[in-house]
Structure 1
Amino acid sequence: MTPEERLAALGLELPEVVAPLAAYLPAVRTGDYVYTSGQLAMVGGKLEVTGKVGAEVTPEVAAEQARICALNGLAAIASVAGGLSNITRIVKVVVFVASAPGFTGQPAVGNGASELLAEVLGEAGRHARSAVGVAVLPLDAPVEVEFVAEVR
């Protein structure tokens, strides 16, 4: 199955690329690589969940937010690569988790993004990853995810 077919089988579709919140591009291609800016879990132009993970946001909700971030990241990559089928590998994913003091479940939150990438891209979606806790993210988002992808 193609990535587009896998996405449809999951009942998902690529959203519009999220408009930048400041002076940057959502994704930049250089040679065979695409680097994305940090992707928030925007749906229809809105951030539906805010707060710190481990306080106002449960880890389970945060993992779902990371999944939405990954879908937005795929849209950004596809926009400069000519479609999902031109992604040959997700190389690196960095997951930022706005964490309440003492919260240490960042890797489980990041799994929301990682699992979606593997579901859509198969083996090409498996990647290196960092998941780090931070004090605050733009718009009080609980999760932000950025990507490096190899493309054809």
Structure 2
Amino acid sequence: MSTPAENLAALGLTLPEVVPPVAAYLPAVRTGSYVYTSGQLPMRDGALISTGKVGADVTAEEAQECARLCALNALAAVASLVDGDLTRVARVVKAVVFVASTPDFTGQPTVANGASELLGAVFGDAGVHARSAVGVSVLPLDAPVEVEVIVELTA
């Protein structure tokens, strides 16, 4: 059975540095055996990889990649609270994916798959989760996607 770190490596990914908050909040909070992440944006090296609305400025495929990066950033936030050890994640409980989209765009679930598929690839069956995919008019910094996750930790 592969570890989350091995699965990330097999995907050609490494955990990035935790994205610093853009306002007054923490990237993630642990309470008991759960970690709740704040909404994570598609930031790479301190900058958004895309801006604008899905269905106008951003394609569904680009947004799916944004969701994937958001989920990776969420995993970095989780890892920061467990000494970098993602084997402590017993399961991903829920993901919430916000998609800034045009009023006629209805592919939010497909965009959200970018995050969900990454979580499944990293954690296997423990990465299969409940999910909400929500269309919104605007997100912070004009990001096209924002993702938050809830994970349960092992004892």
Q: Once superposed, what is the RMSD of the aligned Cα atoms?
A: 0.6
- Whichever residue aligns with residue 27 of structure 1, its letter is A
Cα shift at 1:81? 2.2
The TM-score with structure 1 as length reference comes to 0.98
- Whichever residue aligns with residue 144 of structure 1, its letter is E
Show the counterpart of 2:76: 75
SS in 1 for 2:30: strand
SS in 2 for 1:72: helix
Q: Say which of 102, 106, 109 aligns to 1:107.
A: 109
Show the counterpart of 1:52: 53
Structure 1 gap segments, 5+ residues each: none
Residue 89 (1) aligns with residue 95 (2): no
Show the counterpart of 2:64: 63
For 1:102 and 1:25, locate their aligned partners in 2 and report how far apart those are by CA, in whole Å. 34
- The alignment covers a number of residue pairs equal to 152
Report if aligned partners of 1:78, 1:87 keep a CA contact under 8 Å in 2: no
Paired-residue identity, % = 70
For 1:72 and 1:84, locate their aligned partners in 2 and report how far apart those are by CA, in whole Å. 13
Report if aligned partners of 2:36, 2:149 keep a CA contact under 8 Å in 1: yes
The TM-score with structure 2 as length reference comes to 0.97
Show the counterpart of 2:141: 139
For 1:42 and 1:71, locate their aligned partners in 2 and report how far apart those are by CA, in whole Å. 10
For 1:36 and 1:72, locate their aligned partners in 2 and report how far apart those are by CA, in whole Å. 10
